[in-house]
Structure 1
Amino acid sequence: MKRPYIVIASALVLVLAFAGGAYYFKTQQTQEIGWLVSAEESALNRSSSPSLGAESAKVQIVEFFDPACEACRMMYPYVKSLIHTNDGKVRLTLRYATFHDGSDYVVKVLEAARMQGQDMYWKALEAILANQQTWATHGRTDPLLVWSFLGGTGLDIPKAKQDMNDPRIAAILKQDATDLAILKINKTPSFFINGKPLNDFSPNGLRIQIKREISAAYHVNESN
């Protein structure tokens, strides 16, 4: 074999080995998180966390979420549409993973909004996500700007500014940080469907895994 072909063949072997190693690492990491969730089920879903969807739903999505995370913003409308499409069967619970600078401040704002009602929480969240590129973009965050996007939601802003310092909100943040460490969650969004990590991180992968869980839980055939 001529030398150029040997070099190309060697490079191809290295690429394939790297791809295989990356896939193996991802698979192992997913399995490890799955084992941790099984062992520490209480660390996955807390009753104090905000939820959307029917309480009686048999398919439970838990999302570890950062309001400054671009992928979280992009996935949110899709997740919401899956809840509405499968009305009564799917429920979403958000857990906070404040990995970005300023995210903890925004979470306190959101939780202060939740003190004014569940509907207010989701209105505030959607307003904040819709304007994410203004207050959090390319590693530059200015969380104080979020207040300017909440005027149209009906939020009592002076009350929310006072309530965001409530020790109950600090306790939620502390609990979520503890559970992140227990479950070794290091990226957002991280999804779990009925306690199982999302296998294929994509809108279609999420849809397929949810459909499978619906089929198993409700004994119905769901087409992909």
Structure 2
Amino acid sequence: MNRRVIVVLTGVFALAIFSGATLFHRNEQTKRAQAVAASRAEALVRDHSPVIGPANAPVTIVEFFDPSCEACRAFYPPLKQILALFPTDARLVIRYAAFHEGSDVAVKILEAARLQGKFVPVKEALLEFQPEWADHDKPDLEKAWARAKDAGLDIETGKRDAARPEFQTTLDQDGADAKALEVSRTPTFFVNGQPLTEFGPRPLYELVKREVEKTRK
């Protein structure tokens, strides 16, 4: 066996070991996420959580969401498409994970909008114009308020409502639940209690589709 063959075989062997170790680690992470979600199911949905879709839908998508998160912004169009594909079968429950500076204020803008029946248009406006207000080092929250106003929010009432103690209680509870479920990034999804362990719109669609098909049998 010449030296070149030995080098090639060594490389193939090393790659196989690395691939196997990576797969093992991923499987262990999946098992851990599933075990945590199963043991702390009460932390997934709270009565105060915003819901988009039919309240009695058999499939519940839980999203831990940060209004300042670029990935949440990128995920929103495919998530909206998934809900449109299953209009009576799936609902979205939003949990807040205010990981970025200023996100707590953005959450309070959303909660103020919810009181006025403007939650979805204001959420969409904050996401659409996120690059102009959600600088992680120095967020410009007045611009966030301005975009909320453009989306239909009564800003004077909204700013008064933002001081409500129950809004901070919601943030605190959602933060505690995120910690209990070991949520460390946004968006993080659960579908009928199952964590989305392969990140991306397509895996989310496949998981929702499987759960919907179960309910139709």
Is the structural similarity TM-score above 0.5?
A: yes
Provide closer, same or farther for how the CA distance between residues 15 and 158 of structure 1 changes in structure 2, counting only shifts above 3 A. Answer: farther
CA-atom RMSD in angstroms? 2.0
CA–CA distance in structure 2, aligned partners of residues 193 and 199 of structure 1: 11
Contact 1:103–1:143, Cα closer than 8 Å, also in 2: no
Paired residue secondary structure (1:150): helix
Paired residue secondary structure (1:168): helix
Aligned counterpart, 2:86: 86
Matched, 1:218 2:216: yes
Contact 1:66–1:188, Cα closer than 8 Å, also in 2: yes
Contact 1:71–1:188, Cα closer than 8 Å, also in 2: yes
Deviations 1:57-92 (A, max 9, x none): 101100111111111111112111211221111000
- Summarize the alignment of residues 156-175 of structure 1 with structure 2, pairs less than 5 Å apart: 156-175=154-173
Matched, 1:42 2:42: yes
Paired residue secondary structure (1:60): strand
Residue 153 of structure 1: how far off its partner (Å)? 1.6
Unaligned runs of 5+ in 2: none
Deviations 1:87-116 (A, max 9, x none): 111000011111112111111111111111
Aligned counterpart, 1:132: 130
Unaligned runs of 5+ in 1: 220-224
Contact 1:109–1:164, Cα closer than 8 Å, also in 2: yes
Aligned counterpart, 1:32: 32
CA–CA distance in structure 2, aligned partners of residues 187 and 88 of structure 1: 29
CA–CA distance in structure 2, aligned partners of residues 146 and 184 of structure 1: 29
Residue 8 of structure 1: how far off its partner (Å)? 5.6
CA–CA distance in structure 2, aligned partners of residues 150 and 105 of structure 1: 12
Aligned counterpart, 2:203: 205
Provide closer, same or farther for how the CA distance between residues 140 and 88 of structure 1 changes in structure 2, counting only shifts above 3 A. Answer: same
Letter in structure 2 aligned against 1:185? V
The two structures have a TM-score, normalised by structure 1, of 0.88
Deviations 1:152-193 (A, max 9, x none): 222110111111111100110110111111111111111111
Aligned counterpart, 1:182: 180
Contact 2:50–2:93, Cα closer than 8 Å, also in 1: yes
Aligned counterpart, 1:105: 105
Contact 1:62–1:193, Cα closer than 8 Å, also in 2: yes
- Summarize the alignment of residues 116-131 of structure 1 with structure 2, pairs less than 5 Å apart: 116-117=116-117, 120-131=118-129
Residue 7 of structure 1: how far off its partner (Å)? 5.3
CA–CA distance in structure 1, aligned partners of residues 88 and 196 of structure 2: 21
Matched, 1:55 2:55: yes
Aligned counterpart, 2:64: 64
Provide closer, same or farther for how the CA distance between residues 173 and 61 of structure 1 changes in structure 2, counting only shifts above 3 A. Answer: same
CA–CA distance in structure 1, aligned partners of residues 21 and 142 of structure 2: 43
CA–CA distance in structure 2, aligned partners of residues 82 and 129 of structure 1: 18
Taking every aligned residue pair, what percent have the same amino acid on both sides? 39
Contact 2:72–2:186, Cα closer than 8 Å, also in 1: yes
How many pairs were matched up? 217
Aligned counterpart, 1:196: 194
Residue 22 of structure 1: how far off its partner (Å)? 3.2
